[in-house]
Structure 1
Amino acid sequence: MRAPIGSFENASPAVDRQDLLTAPVAEAVRTGWGGIAPDQVLHVDTDPEIADTAAFVAHHGADLLDHSANCVVLSGKRGADVTLAACLVLSHSRVDVNGVARKHLGLRKARFASMDTAVGETGMEYGGITPIGLPAAWPLLIDSAVVDEEWVLIGSGSRRGKLIVTGKALGALPGAVILDGLGVRAPEAS
């Protein structure tokens, strides 16, 4: 992986920084969850105050926006059944919740999960949710543009840190489904 490690002087293998990861992410990194070898995931220690993508990119450089991805948790219903799923799109995009995501999941209605649900069900911090270490039964919808990236900067499960991993490795995670058009470029990012 050829990530701009020079931009992150404190980047190191995530397996060596388990003390900064939430329990499900640390377990996933340690065990090679989803076929990602522990040495394929890098951790960048960051100030929690710049964890949000806009602040992180403003601090580290606008060129990172094209390599950053956000993971959001959706909640949807069909009848009495509730489905939770995660969606991963490049940060300059927004998730097409009620189009591509809802239709793929076969839901009548979909929305972003509440903060309490997202945090409680993932064991991760809000604003740091990552696809690595999600509940294995969840669908993980990934925009095809994410998988096409040589490397991607994602949350670490905590607001203190980011992970760097290849797009192809993300596409191979348990429950991953690659979808064209899941991410819709946000007007302000054009």
Structure 2
Amino acid sequence: MRTPIDLFDNALPAPDCLAELTPPVARAVGDWNGNVPAAQILYVDTDPAIADTAAFVAHFGQELLDQSANCVVVAAKRGGETTLAACLVPSAARVDVNGAVRRHLGARKVSFAPMETTVELTGMESGGITPLGLPGEWPLLVDAAVRDMPYVLIGSGRRRGKLIAPGKLFTEIPGAELVEGLAL
């Protein structure tokens, strides 16, 4: 199947590729019941050596930045309590951690969560963190620009492979909150 992002020649519906995904991502895709049909979540096989955004863009070209998003996990602190949340922003942007995220979560301080913590708590691999399959108690903050993208390339939960899905799908994930100005 041809993909909606022209950089890839072959894609399969993610529900047909659950064995290629980490268990939490496979469960999220397999159990998906949003308005966007699960068959519109596509899986493309990619080289794990270029999983990180900079390497992926160096390999496929700068135009990929306009068609992809990054999911990062943050740790918000307030009154001795730490809350984890995920943020989904276009790959060409940065997360406004000290502004939009801090205000939205009502935190005194917000920083990027340590990768070891993120990997341990999500069951995903570094370089493949995706909003599908995150722990249910975590808020997922989605920048409006991601929602408005026709199709978005994101991690698959593993370094090998990527998912492609309509941008509006990410606002349908349980716990998702649309946040204007999340991206800088």
TM normalised by structure 2 equals 0.93
Name the CA distance, whole Å, in 2 between partners of 1:26 and 1:114. 24
Look up the match of 2:147.
147
Name the CA distance, whole Å, in 1 between partners of 2:80 and 2:18. 38
1:84 has 2:81 as partner: no
1:170 has 2:181 as partner: no
Name the CA distance, whole Å, in 2 between partners of 1:37 and 1:4. 15
Deviates more, 1:51-60 or 1:96-105: 51-60
Look up the match of 1:118.
118
Name the CA distance, whole Å, in 2 between partners of 1:73 and 1:5. 26
CA contact (8 A) 1:155 1:161 kept: yes
Name the SS of the counterpart of 1:107 in structure 2: coil
Look up the match of 2:37.
37
After TM superposition, give the deviation of residue 35 of structure 1 in Å: 5.4
Name the SS of the counterpart of 1:65 in structure 2: helix
Greater percentage in helix = 1
After TM superposition, give the deviation of residue 98 of structure 1 in Å: 1.0
Letter of the 2:118 partner, please give it: A
Look up the match of 1:187.
none
CA contact (8 A) 1:89 1:142 kept: yes
Name the CA distance, whole Å, in 2 between partners of 1:36 and 1:19. 22
Name the CA distance, whole Å, in 2 between partners of 1:118 and 1:104. 20
Deviations 1:111-130 (A, max 9, x none): 00001110111110011100
1:53 has 2:53 as partner: yes
Letter of the 2:113 partner, please give it: A
Letter of the 1:85 partner, please give it: A
Name the SS of the counterpart of 2:94 in structure 1: strand
CA contact (8 A) 2:75 2:85 kept: yes
Look up the match of 1:9.
9
TM normalised by structure 1 equals 0.91
Percent identity reads 61
Name the CA distance, whole Å, in 1 between partners of 2:18 and 2:10. 14
Letter of the 1:136 partner, please give it: G
Name the CA distance, whole Å, in 2 between partners of 1:81 and 1:131. 23
Name the CA distance, whole Å, in 2 between partners of 1:10 and 1:98. 39
Deviations 1:60-118 (A, max 9, x none): 23222101100000011111221000000000100010110011001111100001110
After TM superposition, give the deviation of residue 59 of structure 1 in Å: 2.1
Look up the match of 1:97.
97
After TM superposition, give the deviation of residue 176 of structure 1 in Å: 0.9
Name the SS of the counterpart of 1:46 in structure 2: coil
Q: RMSD across aligned C-alpha pairs, in angstroms?
A: 1.6
CA contact (8 A) 2:3 2:9 kept: no
After TM superposition, give the deviation of residue 173 of structure 1 in Å: 1.1
